[in-house]
Structure 1
Amino acid sequence: MTVLRLAVLCRSLEPIRFGGTATAWFARQVERREDFKADVIDLQTTPLPELPGRIDQADAIVVVAPEYNHAYPGDLKTAIDAVREPWAAKPVAFLTYGGRSRGLRAAEQLRLVFAELHAVAIREGLGFHDVPGTFADGEPIEPGTNQAAGALLDRLAWWARALREARAVTPYEL
């Protein structure tokens, strides 16, 4: 089986930021699997001109995003727009966080953006609320979270293989 390349796109890996904690935990979930190899892309340290090439090399993408003002942050939108064509015909999943909604409103808006970019947003996602109390020692405290991450990765793997094969047979043209 060919290993799938998974881009994990986050705003910041700073340890004091929740996004960094959630991304590090998720990257550990990916490392435990044999079907994925993660490429963690920290938007705070990755120059925008590098992004299209890294997304182009990916078979699938997970976007880690907070919810701000019932939406997602502007710097994430700038990064998404900087990539453009490499998103096409690739599966995308969302790991969101913030408030009672667990970042759901950010994920819903991101689904609309990625649909316009011809990406396939999968149904499975991960969301965290009550940011300060959601993780302890780098691990989620809510039971079933690791299993939910596994289900997300299973579904993402299915779509990544299917779409990679489809792109190989018939290149996706915009």
Structure 2
Amino acid sequence: MTVHPLVVAVVVRSTEPGRFGTVATAWFARQVERRDDFKLDLIDLATTSPDSLRERIDTADAAVIVCPEYNHSFPGELKTAIDSVRRPWYAKPVAFIVYGGRSGGLRAAEQLRLVFAELHAVPIRETLSFHQVPDCFTAEGEPLEPGTTEAAATLLDHLAWWARALRDARASTPYPG
């Protein structure tokens, strides 16, 4: 039996050099690429059209959203991008990598969980959170916090389980949303 890799769309609002999101995204992309069960699709919202975003999320088996906390929530342009996709999010697992100050972006993740639940997506429990950015990564782009790589592996293990289960379910029975 051939098992096709799961396509994971990693969505970030900008991969400009010098931005913390770029560092975190590049590190996480390396974690994904080390695995045989995923195929990475890195989506930079700064350079991706709404139609392309919709098509790529439709093709994906799972998504990971990388974003900062902004005013106790997440950036408005991310909300616009999420809403522009709508139906392709249905019955897909979504994970979060968040960052910012003392809260580490966790308030953004909680807000995103509500948005994705309304879109019939399945927000998974595991979240990667980076506090006191940019000082939480080395100059080489590796996290300083012990256990971060293991936490990413756990996130990806859970994301793979949900992605596989939901891909199989969508294939056998179209989602009624």
TM over 0.5: same fold? yes
CA separation in 2, counterparts of 1:27 and 1:76?
19
**Residue in 2 aligned with 1:157?**
160
AA aligned to 2:56 is R
Matched, 1:171 2:142: no
TM-score (norm 2): 0.97
CA separation in 2, counterparts of 1:132 and 1:164?
36
**Residue in 2 aligned with 1:110?**
112
Regions of 4+ moved over 2 Å: none
Query: 1:82: how far off?
Result: 0.6
* 3-state DSSP of counterpart to 2:150: helix
Query: 1:5: how far off?
Result: 0.2
AA aligned to 1:31 is E
**Residue in 1 aligned with 2:150?**
147
**Residue in 2 aligned with 1:96?**
98
AA aligned to 2:4 is T
Query: 1:55: how far off?
Result: 0.0
* 3-state DSSP of counterpart to 1:148: helix
Spell out, residue by residue over 1:31-66, the C-alpha distance to the aligned partner (whole angstroms, 9 max, x if none).
000000110000011112211100000000000010
**Residue in 1 aligned with 2:31?**
29
* 3-state DSSP of counterpart to 1:41: strand
Which ranges in structure 2 are unaligned for 5 or more consecutive residues? none
CA separation in 1, counterparts of 2:54 and 2:67?
19
Query: 1:125: how far off?
Result: 0.7
Task: After TM superposition, list the pairs within 5 Å mapping 1:10-159 onto structure 2.
Answer: 10-136=12-138, 137-159=140-162
Length, aligned pairs only: 174
Identity of aligned residues (%): 70
AA aligned to 1:159 is W
Query: 1:109: how far off?
Result: 0.3
Query: 1:173: how far off?
Result: 2.4
CA separation in 1, counterparts of 2:11 and 2:61?
13
Query: 1:30: how far off?
Result: 0.2
